[in-house]
A and B are shown apart, each in its own frame.
Chain A
């Protein structure tokens, strides 16, 4: 079974703090993703990475950055946390394949609920 783990289930930070969310997958997947999930909005893609040190912006990258130094680990960084970044953050991974199929079949971690005060 693919396992995607996230460093914290719950996190409380203060406005202006730098926040690191860590994600690790154990199935040698090339692609890794960071989403945020908000009520009524579904999941929105923040960043994804298709290889080590490679990254692509998703729909809502503003206020976030990412790091992928090793294949199994993908970090999401909030440079200066703000209250509007209070959300559920989900990490996912997938294999690489032909076409868009592999981007679709993703394996998700349990999520980190971040509260910014």
Chain B
């Protein structure tokens, strides 16, 4: 059964690096992993996407180990404005399912 699993919540302090891991079993070789950020009263917003090794953009990095059964979103030097809910999404090609994790609420403290 295709499933994505994330921690429910995390706390951090300003300036720290935050790593949020998503577990996704039954992922196929070319299935992409996508991460979104959501603020209250808004729709999710795309952060980063990848399917192997490491991807980096101006806001985050995505690390995917060789077995691809998990992925880690890394947010460098978080600020208060990074307080949000973060979702991972996997499009499982073997089942045709789009599965979001249940979301990780990140609270950044001063």
| Residues of A that sit less than 8 Å from B by CB | 4, 33, 35, 40-45, 48, 56, 58-59, 90, 92, 99-101, 103-111
Q: How far is the CB of A19 from the nearest CB of chain B, in Å?
A: 19
Among A33, A90, A100, the one with the most B-chain Cβ atoms within 10 Å of its Cβ is A100
Q: Is the CB of A42 within 8 A of B101?
A: yes
Interface size on B, residues (CB 8 A): 28
B interface, CB within 8 angstroms of A: 30-34, 36, 41-46, 49, 51, 87, 89-93, 96-103
Known: A40-B102, A42-B87. A101 touches B32 (CB 8 A): yes
B96 — which chain A residues lie within 8 A by C-beta? 56
CB–CB A43/B93 < 8 A: no
A-B contacts, 18 listed (Cβ < 8 Å): A42-B102, A43-B87, A43-B100, A45-B97, A48-B98, A56-B96, A58-B98, A92-B43, A99-B93, A100-B30, A100-B92, A101-B49, A103-B91, A104-B34, A105-B49, A106-B34, A110-B42, A111-B42
Tell me whether A100 and B102 are in contact in the complex, defined as CB-CB below 8 angstroms, given that A43-B44, A43-B87, A110-B42 are known contacts: no
Pick from A43, A59, A100, A111: contact of B91, CB under 8 Å? A100
Q: How far is the CA of A43 from the CA of B98 in the complex (A)?
A: 10
| Bound-state Cα–Cα, A84 to B84, Å | 26
Give the residue among A40, A45, A101, A104 with the most B Cβ atoms within 10 A.
A104
